[in-house]
Amino acid sequence: MPVARKMISADAWLCESRGMLPNFVLIGFMGCGKSSVGRRLSSLTGHRFVDTDELVVKAEGRSIPQIFAACGEEGFREIEQRVLGDLVGVAGVVLSTGGGAILREANREALKKIGIVVWLDSEPSTLFERAIRSGKRPLLQTPNPRETFDQLLSARRPTYESVADFRFDSSLVDQEEAARKVLEQAMRLQSRRA
């Protein structure tokens, strides 16, 4: 006689399957919501939230603007590459990357090894509004921040697309809903790969 399957909610299933969840790597341009969505995804999965910018700051003992001022973007990217390499093989993380982490081939390879790579995206005007609001974006400290923003975004979009396992538009949902939808898409992707 077949045993009846117990019906469980998605949240209950998630609690039972946390040990089987992959790592999640969030990529995307400044202002796309990697940190806020990442923190919510971390609380949903029980994974530790890790932000590459925070790791860089901790490793160097100084802020991102200070690193840019002292070492330039190239020096910052060297440190970023080192901290990403240290995460390969670490389990149980939701990783929020800096917007330019995908610029180096070594980083792109590391991100793929770390976990499922999710490209968070939005309309350019939404991204710009969010990015400029913080006032802490070294790459936008130019005479024409919007022009710089548009050039960088245009140059990076093809790389985000090539690295990502899937793209998620974060402009039409709040961060909680975005985290849930990202988790659902990632689990579908993982089940297809299994």
For residue 100, tell me if it sits in a domain. yes
Give one DSSP letter per residue of 122-174, joined into a string.
--HHHHHHHHHHH---GGG-SS-HHHHHHHHHHHHHHHHHHH-SEEEE-SSS-
Amino acid at position 94, single letter: V
The closest of 92, 87, 83 to 113, measured between CA atoms, is 87
For residue 26, tell me if it sits in a domain. yes
Average pLDDT over the chain, rounded to an integer: 87
For residue 14, tell me if it sits in a domain. no
For residue 10, tell me if it sits in a domain. no
Q: Are the C-beta atoms of residues 106 and 86 closer than 8 Å to each other? A: no
For residue 11, tell me if it sits in a domain. no
Extract the runs of DSSP E, i.e. beta strands, from the chain. Answer: 24-27, 48-51, 93-96, 116-121, 166-169
* 50 φ/ψ angles, rounded to the nearest 5 degrees: -130, 130
For residue 5, tell me if it sits in a domain. no
Q: pLDDT per residue over 52-91, tens digit each?
A: 999 999 999 999 889 989 999 899 999 999 999 999 999 9
For residue 8, tell me if it sits in a domain. no
Domain of residue 64, CATH code: 3.40.50.300
The total number of structural domains that make up the chain: 1
For residue 70, tell me if it sits in a domain. yes
Residue 138 has pLDDT above 90, yes or no: no
Cα gap 131→134, rounded to integer Å: 6
Residue 13 has pLDDT above 80, yes or no: no
Q: What is the mean pLDDT of residues 21-46?
A: 95
Cα gap 89→83, rounded to integer Å: 13
Give the pLDDT band of residue 166 (cuts 50, 70, 90). very high
Domain that holds residue 51: 22-193
Q: Are the C-beta atoms of residues 165 and 25 closer than 8 Å to each other? A: no
User: Considering the entire predicted model, what is its pTM?
Assistant: 0.85
